[in-house]
Amino acid sequence: MNSKKVNWAFLSLILLNIALYALMFICYAQGIAIFDIGIVANLLVSQMILISPAFLFALASRKKTETGRMNEMLGFHKIKISSFLMVLLFTFLIMPMSTALNAISMLFVDNTVNAISGDVLQMPFPVMLFMIGIFGPFCEEFVFRGIIFRGYKNSGSVFWSVFWSALLFGLMHLNFNQAAYAVALGIMFALLVEATGSLWSSVIAHMVFNSWQVCIMYLTDLIPAEVMGPEVELTQETLIAAIGPYLFAAAVATPLAVCVLIWLSKNERREAQFCSVCARRKEKKEAMVSIPLIIAIVLSLVCMSMEWIMALL
């Protein structure tokens, strides 16, 4: 798998999403409720759309003489137990950064996760924990840190592989709110894979991150209204007041997360590989940006802009 095939795979993903949205709009306009299938089915369909193009391109890219298994090709290598524990610490250290970026984005756009929280809370907790906390992160890591990141690495420097895989991870969400922090998380997850040499590390981190958010959502819903007190209206002023503490927490926790990455690279004996992230040039390789990638980025931004405009109407 190289950058050209990665770009075609991502364009296919975006086109599939656009086709699905167009079909949903037509059915809605005609009064056909074929897509009123519930949040679980919607999550399942979205993950299948995500994983199918990348998986097919990856299969097509395997050489006939290749004897390595798919899990080896994607980097599903074992990590030490000590590394596993530090991955858990790393995950909690990047949460303030994500929260700060989410809050900043909410100055301009609505919180997408909050918009679906009502549908989520109507479902049993174990179901949503599996769909959002386990199944979804595995599919996303399989595609973005497994196929896309490694595909870009086969064509260029680690530095730009981290950048482009993270950018596409953000654009994949097709809304400005999630894209704001998904790009940052994509960078951190890619660095985590590079530090440990294993895709399992980012899978674990992503699962813990999402599962924690699901648990917080359900625990908050269990707290009686009289204990929570009167609901504070979410305004620009309250958001701006909250951003300061979030940024301070992120400024403290994020450098510590980087320190954990450095420790992980030493623990897994990958100091040289991890240091190569800063090397922007590499021998051999081909351009990562191609026409399919440019088209995919433009289409993603158009869809995100349309979603934002419709939310304002």
The identity of residue 174, as a single letter, is: L
Q: What's phi and psi for 289, nearest 5 deg?
A: -85, 130
Distance CA 177, CA 308 (A): 9
Q: pLDDT tens across 188-202, in order?
A: 999 999 999 999 999
For residue 47, which of 119, 132, 123 has the smallest C-alpha distance?
132
Helices 81-93 and 95-105 sit at what angle, rounded to 10 degrees?
A: 30
Does residue 67 register a pLDDT over 50?
Answer: no
Dist CA 209 CA 280 (whole Å): 29
**Percent of the chain whose pLDDT exceeds 90:** 57
pLDDT tens figures, 206-259: 999 999 999 999 998 888 766 655 666 667 788 888 899 999 999 999 999 999
pLDDT at position 233 is 63
| pLDDT category of residue 284 using cuts at 50, 70 and 90 | low
CB atoms within 10 A of CB 297: 18
- List pLDDT tens digits, range 130-181: 999 999 999 999 999 999 999 998 887 889 999 999 999 999 999 999 999 9
* CA–CA distance, 64 with 147 (Å, rounded to integer): 18
Q: Residues 280-300: what's their mean pLDDT?
A: 81
Rounded CA-CA distance 302/299 in Å is: 5
Query: 33 pLDDT exceeds 90?
Result: no
Q: What is the pLDDT of residue 12?
A: 93
The vertex-176 CA angle with 40 and 160, nearest 5°, equals 100
For range 65-72, the mean pLDDT:
53
Rounded CA-CA distance 181/291 in Å is 26
Highest mean pLDDT among 27-31, 130-134, 287-291: 130-134
Radius of gyration of the chain (CA): 20
Those residues whose C-beta lies under 8 Å from the C-beta of residue 9, and which sit 6 or more positions away, are 53, 54, 56, 57, 58, 147, 148
Share of the chain above pLDDT 70, in %: 89
- Looking from the CA of 72 toward its CB, the CA atoms found within 13 Å total 5
**pTM of the model as a whole:** 0.91
Closest to 37 in 3D by CA, of 51, 23, 50: 23
Report CA dihedral (122, 124, 130, 133) to the nearest 10 degrees. Answer: 50
Q: Could you tell me how many residues make up the chain?
A: 313
pLDDT, tens digit, 9 for 90 and up, residues 34-56: 666 788 888 898 899 999 888 88
pLDDT band at 288 (very low <50, low <70, confident <90, very high): confident
Indicate the average pLDDT of the chain.
Answer: 87
What's the pLDDT at 231?
60
Smallest Cα–Cα separation from 14: which of 174, 234, 254?
Answer: 174
Positive or negative, the Cα torsion across 254, 258, 264, 270? Answer: positive
